[in-house]
Chain A
């Protein structure tokens, strides 16, 4: 007797326990790949059985038992592993949260970005290969192969299972943050009003960022990324109209924004900024989004402040795409002509970037140069290959 379980509940329970089990099994067996196989197996069993039988009272114990039993079965020839697994009992002795080691191993710079992402989703968040493939719209075999190769590399190239020493920490954290940021973008930009995916990457990205914030509480960029994700999500309710179409920022019904969540995320950002005087790129991006989120109406937007933040961001991470976004702020702070002048310098770098042409079209139309605007729009549409990219374009046009 159980109610039908929502996908979110299932995802949440798995997410909470799969990574912990993986972390403790890697420690126990000393073999990343073997441990990961056992957890994946247990997770797949859970995804099959829990929707039918209900979530067990102790999901962690359940997963652990399945993994152990499976391990004793498949690792028959590895007597060393068998002996270790035989000692695995539940409840496990209170161990420190080992998931940080797991995260750093999955996001090791010796792995490709695509492998880091797939591995983190599977090992830390407990997604199945099928779920990852569905989320990224790639064949399952591609994901499976990527994960198999990454696991082999971890074992054969000697990628360690540990938290990097202090002097390497900033750089290595940067890798982890990049993975979470990409995950978030993928989920956020490709999402539609009727979410058809089995699992929402945005949930996983926020969960990962918040896990990392708990494990590395002193890093301001971790807090910055978490705030950035939460600020975006707090405005999620206004992103789509009743027909599921994207609504541009200027046209959004701001009463649908979650003010409480915006305040919380802004407070998180302020706390991080107070301790460390020099904000990094994630904090700056979050601050830009906070500026938008705090404006009561579109007309109240503090464009001058947004410009300052973009300048700081460009100073840290120069990029033509960021300059394009800045040009949109220039339009409201200094006028259309000034924005168009900024765009002129970006033409070479962004010739193949649809948003560049779409923005140019907007600006030209603002000046009444209709014919040129139409040509720019056409160029933008030429460059958009598929509906997902079209959604991305519209999203970017929403200036956030």
Chain B
């Protein structure tokens, strides 16, 4: 089955990352790189998004589309990237998500 893992950053996590020294930061990025390399056979596609301050939202439906600055939900948790994976079942997808070395929340959705 195909699933999308949505990586969700929190304010807390962003702060921690910022507070890290250069070496620590590099180690954190390397851990992410290793995760992608180790699971390359299951990952069919992935994207890392630019920071949330670059987001623009368009709301359609009521008259003219309304364009606003910012993400569609203002909150402390923001989606920072996606990975599409091809695995046997939810348990395998869960196993991947559990081993994710970076941001603290991962949402798993099957691709319909």
Q: Is B89 an interface residue (CB 8 A)?
A: yes
Q: Which residues in window 100-124 of A have CB below 8 A to B?
A: 108, 110
Q: Is A160 an interface residue (CB 8 A)?
A: yes
Using Cβ atoms and an 8 Å threshold, which residues of chain A touch B90? 108, 110, 157-160
Instruction: Tell me the count of chain B residues lying within 8 A, CB to CB, of chain A.
Output: 11
Whether A158 and B94, one on each chain, are in contact in the complex, defined by CB atoms closer than 8 angstroms, is no
Q: Is A237 an interface residue (CB 8 A)?
A: no
Chain A positions 144 through 183: 1 when the CB is less than 8 Å from some CB of chain B, otherwise 0: 0000000000001111100010001000000000000000
Whether B110 and A156, one on each chain, are in contact in the complex, defined by CB atoms closer than 8 angstroms, is yes
Using Cβ atoms and an 8 Å threshold, which residues of chain A touch B110? 156-158
Q: Tell me the dominant secondary structure on chain A's binding face.
A: loop
**A346 vs B94: C-alpha distance when bound (angstroms):** 37
**A108 vs B88: C-alpha distance when bound (angstroms):** 16
A-B residue pair count with CB separations less than 8 angstroms: 24
Distance in angstroms from A26 CB to nearest chain B CB is: 14
Chain A interface extent, by class? under 10
Q: What residue of chain B has the Cβ atom nearest to residue A165's Cβ?
A: B91
Whether B89 and A110, one on each chain, are in contact in the complex, defined by CB atoms closer than 8 angstroms, is no
Q: Is B31 an interface residue (CB 8 A)?
A: no
**A60 vs B94: C-alpha distance when bound (angstroms):** 36
Distance in angstroms from B79 CB to nearest chain A CB is: 19
Q: Is B27 an interface residue (CB 8 A)?
A: no
**A108 vs B93: C-alpha distance when bound (angstroms):** 14
Distance in angstroms from B92 CB to nearest chain A CB is: 8
Using Cβ atoms and an 8 Å threshold, which residues of chain B touch A164? 91
Using Cβ atoms and an 8 Å threshold, which residues of chain B touch A156? 110, 112
Using Cβ atoms and an 8 Å threshold, which residues of chain A touch B112? 156
Whether A160 and B89, one on each chain, are in contact in the complex, defined by CB atoms closer than 8 angstroms, is yes
**A76 vs B88: C-alpha distance when bound (angstroms):** 29
Using Cβ atoms and an 8 Å threshold, which residues of chain B touch A158? 1, 3, 88-90, 93, 110
A-B contact pairs, 17 of them (CB 8 A): A110-B94, A156-B110, A156-B112, A157-B90, A157-B108, A157-B110, A158-B3, A158-B88, A158-B89, A158-B93, A158-B110, A159-B89, A159-B90, A159-B91, A160-B90, A160-B91, A168-B91
Q: Knowing that A110-B90, A157-B110, A164-B91 are A-B contacts, what are 11 other residue pairs whose CB atoms are under 8 Å apart, sorted by A's residue number?
A: A108-B90, A110-B94, A156-B112, A157-B90, A157-B108, A158-B3, A158-B88, A158-B89, A158-B93, A158-B110, A168-B91
Q: Which residues of A contact B (CB under 8 A)?
A: 108, 110, 156-160, 164, 168
7 residue pairs, one from A and one from B, having the closest CB atoms: A160-B89, A158-B1, A158-B89, A158-B90, A159-B90, A157-B110, A157-B90
